[in-house]
Amino acid sequence: MIGWIVLILAILVILAAVGLGWDTFFGGVKKGAEKIGSLPEVKNLTDKAKNEFDNIIGNSSFDAIAIFEKNMKF
């Protein structure tokens, strides 16, 4: 069922792009993305996700270095 919905949506997007023209279609998508990206809620969510990602990466790389140093002691 979900496969059919995805297929129908993909066909609709392709038909819309062909009907409007590639430049017009993707220009409109870009403008829409810029408008959504400029919303304060999206900026806050993006910043929060970036900080959490940096924390996760920072913690995991620190742990990996500690484990590596522990195992490499002779």
Mean pLDDT of the chain: 82
Residues 1 and 20 in one domain: yes
If asked whether residues 15 and 43 sit together in one domain, one would say: no
Split at pLDDT 50, 70, 90, the class of 17 is: confident
Domain range for 18 is 1-33
CB atoms within 10 A of CB 16: 13
pLDDT tens for 19-47 read 888 888 888 889 998 888 888 888 888 88
User: Do 29 and 1 sit in the same domain of this protein?
Assistant: yes
Tokens linked to 69: 């140093």
CA–CA dist 70, 74 (Å, integer): 9
Number of domains into which the chain is organized:
2
> Has this prediction a pTM greater than 0.85?
no
> For residue range 47-70, what is the model confidence (pLDDT) as tens digits?
898 888 888 777 665 566 666 677
Examine the domain organization and report whether 4 and 26 are in the same domain.
Answer: yes
